[in-house]
Amino acid sequence: MKLQKIVERLQKLHPKEIDLSLDRAKNLCQKLGNPQDQIDCISIVGTNGKYSTIQALHAILKEAKYNCNIYTSPHIQKINERFIFNNKALNDTELANLFCEIEEVNNGEQITFFEILTVAFFHYAKKFPKNLNLIESGLFHRFDATNILKKNLVSIITSIGKDHLDWLPKEEQTIERIVFEKTSALLDSKIIVAKQSSNKIINLIKTSIENNKSKKIIFNKDYSFTLKENDFFYFEDEFGGIKLPKPNLLGEFQLENISTAIAASRQLIKYKITNENIKNGITKIYSIARLQEIRSGKLKNLVKNNQLFVDGSHNPLGAKVLNQFLKSLNSNKHIILGMMKNKNHNEFVDCFEDIKTLTIIDIPNQPNAISGNDLRMKIKSSIKIQNKKNIKDAISSINLEKDDIILITGSLYLAGEVLKIN
């Protein structure tokens, strides 16, 4: 209860949820002795795949006996998920005490919720000077609170696509502007560029980072992977090739994120990371709400022997890789969908092929979600569509045959609610 009350106070420190600027975070960090200048960081920017790439890199580093601090957003179930130190989340008391300390130093000054959380992470990370800090950029990067670092070890650019367009001027809601915002202000260190969805995007990234003095490690030029038979894949970069077991994450698209993490880990020259660390690490990746199979619980009981998946994808880029996974399965597929108001609803749904049913629901406890009725009216699709009040009703309404699967998707907030109910 104490933690929740503090969170509610912090959320009221700025009239806007997002106000892209670096000044407020810099000023508060200065009052705290600039902790962001005293830690070793790896920065992760992009649209999709940031979380999976971070978790893959974390698994490899843990296997090599390195402690990590991790800052991600948004959280799925509890805000504590955003604050990982020494490989584990802060408990409620620890997090409440941290927030109280930062709140007192801030002294009521205007600052967004994300900004004060970012500063809190940097401040606490200073307590672990030997740890590696994996920092996920928020909305964009150029004016994101995570971009107040003066140095880092590596910048990772994951897959970039159109998302959060409502935060850009209407005439600039383009992939060109998104690439610029995410990549033009990267630090001079090393830059890993993951596989992108088109040559156009990779060329935009190359142009954006052309004058950056960093060493650039680009997918298909400086590192690559090949999926092989018999449950293994082959990774190759300037340091040679490694035959690797299939990771514990579902979907071939996750090999892109995992390979990016491997490429980054092998660029950490001052750290002793062996091929065995990589082999073992990628089979122990922690993941939540990213093509996660629900194997037990209240919702699983409703589908009995059928498979139930939840995934937080919320943009067309995410829908495309989900569709690739679904196409690889020889079964009927049923999707349960809930989305936020500011998403490209039709383009998201259009990415899915060969879906038997689509069930629309409200996302509980989210005032910025589009209602199920409004989403149902908005979507133009040849898929059979129905609308249900809640997640349980949606699952129960589907006439499942043997080997059918259900995928619940469209929002990380919805994924959080699914896991909470289950």
Q: What is the pLDDT of residue 339?
A: 96
Taking CA atoms, 14 is separated from 111, 112, 115, 116, in Å, by: 5, 5, 10, 10
Once rounded to an integer, what is the mean pLDDT over residues 331-359? 94
DSSP at 155: E
Of 45, 54, 34, 38, nearest to 143 by C-alpha is 45
**Are residues 275 and 333 both part of a single domain?**
no
**Are residues 129 and 205 both part of a single domain?**
yes
Residue 366 counted as domain residue: yes
Residue 287 counted as domain residue: no
pTM: 0.95
**Are residues 237 and 350 both part of a single domain?**
no
Residue 173 counted as domain residue: yes
165 pLDDT higher than 80: no
Q: What is the pLDDT of residue 382?
A: 76
Which 3 state secondary structure label does DSSP give 176? helix
Q: Phi and psi of 224, rounded to 5°? A: -160, 170
Q: What is the pLDDT of residue 34?
A: 98
Query: What order do you get walking across the sheet with 190-193 strand by strand?
Result: 88-89, 84-85, 68-71, 132-136, 40-45, 154-157, 190-193, 215-218
Cβ–Cβ < 8 Å for 308, 329:
no
Tokens linked to 223: 């590192």
Residue 286 counted as domain residue: no
Tokens linked to 160: 């970039």
Residue 80 counted as domain residue: yes
1 pLDDT higher than 80: no
Number of other CB atoms surrounding residue 236 within 10 Å: 15
Round to whole Å and give the CA distance between 45 and 343. Answer: 20
185 pLDDT higher than 90: yes
Q: What is the mean pLDDT of the chain?
A: 95
Tokens linked to 386: 């129905």
Once rounded to an integer, what is the mean pLDDT over residues 65-80? 96
Once rounded to an integer, what is the mean pLDDT over residues 340-367? 93
176 pLDDT higher than 90: yes
Residue 219 pLDDT class (50, 70, 90 cuts): very high
Residue 260 counted as domain residue: yes
**Are residues 193 and 296 both part of a single domain?**
no
Of 324, 295, 289, nearest to 419 by C-alpha is 289
Q: Phi and psi of 319, rounded to 5°? A: -65, -35
Q: What is the pLDDT of residue 238?
A: 97
* Element containing residue 357 per DSSP (H, E): strand 357-360
Q: Phi and psi of 352, rounded to 5°? A: -90, 135
Residue 125 counted as domain residue: yes
Residue 157 pLDDT class (50, 70, 90 cuts): very high
Final residue in a domain of this structure, among 232, 257, 281: 281
CATH number, position 321:
3.90.190.20
pLDDT tens by residue, 396-420: 999 999 999 999 999 999 999 999 9
**Are residues 234 and 309 both part of a single domain?**
no
Rounded to the nearest angstrom, the gap between the alpha carbon of residue 238 and the centroid of all alpha carbons in its chain is 28
Q: SS in 3 state form for 14-71?
A: CCCCCCCCCHHHHHHHHHCCCHHHHCEEEEEECCECHHHHHHHHHHHHHHCCCCEEEE
Overall domain count for the chain: 2
Share of the chain above pLDDT 90, in %: 88
Residue with the two structure tokens 């589908």: 303
* 344: containing domain: 292-421
Residue 42 pLDDT class (50, 70, 90 cuts): very high
pLDDT tens by residue, 229-242: 778 999 999 999 99
Rounded to the nearest angstrom, the gap between the alpha carbon of residue 198 and the centroid of all alpha carbons in its chain is 20
Q: Which residues contact 383 (CB under 8 A, 6 or more apart)?
A: 349, 352, 355, 357, 358
Number of other CB atoms surrounding residue 130 within 10 Å: 8
**Are residues 20 and 132 both part of a single domain?**
yes
Q: What is the pLDDT of residue 392?
A: 96
Q: What is the pLDDT of residue 171?
A: 84
Round to whole Å and give the CA distance between 150 and 265. Answer: 21
Once rounded to an integer, what is the mean pLDDT over residues 195-214? 97
DSSP at 261: H
Residue 196 pLDDT class (50, 70, 90 cuts): very high
Cβ–Cβ < 8 Å for 282, 60:
yes
Share of the chain above pLDDT 70, in %: 100
Round to whole Å and give the CA distance between 219 and 260. Answer: 8
pLDDT tens by residue, 260-282: 999 999 999 999 999 999 999 99
**Are residues 63 and 186 both part of a single domain?**
yes
Round to whole Å and give the CA distance between 322 and 319. Answer: 5
**Are residues 277 and 300 both part of a single domain?**
no
